[in-house]
């Protein structure tokens, strides 16, 4: 099995359709199931449209794609998502799930259906709000000389911390001294050392206050 996640959490990295074409070809060659966590495909900026692995010819033979209404439709905590792709894999998932639980609370399923079948234009307005928050954070970090990427999608900013700190020490010190809660990169694995993640889900006013605190704290160090 191959697991991919684009747009990526925690880094915000994105890929093009050619990347998925190569992944599908690799899965065919090695007889693998390709699983793609596509939770952030509908949270994108600057005109970027995240591709689906299922757009690739032959993907249905080897791939399953997952999406979550938590991210796409602001339904965090409702534990509702979508899986589409290889019929045999979907059938196996259904068999497993029917032995784990008896299904969702019906009003949640009806709300999810309404979310997916109603007018989707509001997503653009929602994404403009996230983009504004992204820009506030990125501008603040760049003002400190931090080499931060401006992500085209996802709900996160991933940036390197100064030398002499570990990710956990940096995050805990910010919490204690500046009252800011950032996620240390090591939560996502050892390769995350040297990085922290900032989320865009707080209100725009809170984001502005947080960036101001971060800049003030940083300049005193």
Which stretches of the chain drop beneath a pLDDT of 50? none
Please write the tens of the pLDDT for every residue from 15-31.
999 999 999 999 999 99
At 102 the pLDDT is 79
Kindly report the CATH class assigned to 2-117. Answer: alpha beta
Q: Which residues pair with 2 in a beta bridge?
A: 34
At 40 the pLDDT is 97
22-30 long-range Cβ contacts below 8 angstroms, 24+ apart: 23/53, 24/53, 24/56, 24/58, 24/59, 24/62, 24/63, 26/2, 27/2, 27/62, 27/63, 28/58, 28/61, 28/62
At 104 the pLDDT is 85
Kindly report the CATH number that applies to the domain delimited by 122-220: 3.90.1150.10
At 220 the pLDDT is 87
At 72 the pLDDT is 94
At 114 the pLDDT is 95
The reply to whether 2-117 and 122-220 are identical in fold is no
Q: Nearest Cα to 160, choosing from 141, 181, 139, 134?
A: 141
Give the domain ranges of the chain.
Answer: 2-117, 122-220
At 209 the pLDDT is 97
């Amino acid at each position: 099995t191959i697991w991919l996640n684009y747009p990526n959490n925690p880094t915000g990295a994105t890929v093009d359709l050619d990347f998925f074409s190569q992944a599908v070809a690799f899965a065919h060659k090695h007889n693998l199931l390709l699983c793609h966590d596509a939770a952030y495909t509908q949270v994108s900026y600057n005109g970027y449209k995240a591709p689906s692995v299922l757009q690739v010819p032959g993907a249905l033979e080897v791939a399953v794609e997952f999406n979550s209404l938590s991210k796409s439709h602001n339904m965090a905590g409702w534990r509702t998502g979508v899986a589409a792709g290889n019929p045999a894999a979907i059938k196996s998932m259904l068999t497993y799930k029917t032995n784990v639980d008896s299904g969702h609370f019906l009003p949640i399923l009806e709300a999810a259906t309404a979310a997916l079948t109603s007018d989707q234009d509001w997503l653009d307005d929602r994404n403009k709000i996230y983009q504004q928050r992204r820009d506030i954070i990125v501008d603040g970090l760049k003002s400190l000389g931090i080499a931060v990427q401006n992500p085209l999608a996802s709900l996160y900013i991933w940036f390197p911390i100064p030398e002499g700190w570990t990710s956990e020490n940096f995050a805990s010190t910010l919490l204690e001294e500046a009252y800011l809660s950032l996620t240390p990169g090591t939560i996502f694995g050892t390769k995350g050392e040297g990085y922290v993640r900032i989320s865009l889900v707080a209100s725009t006013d809170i984001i502005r206050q947080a960036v101001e605190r971060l800049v003030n704290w940083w300049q005193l160090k």
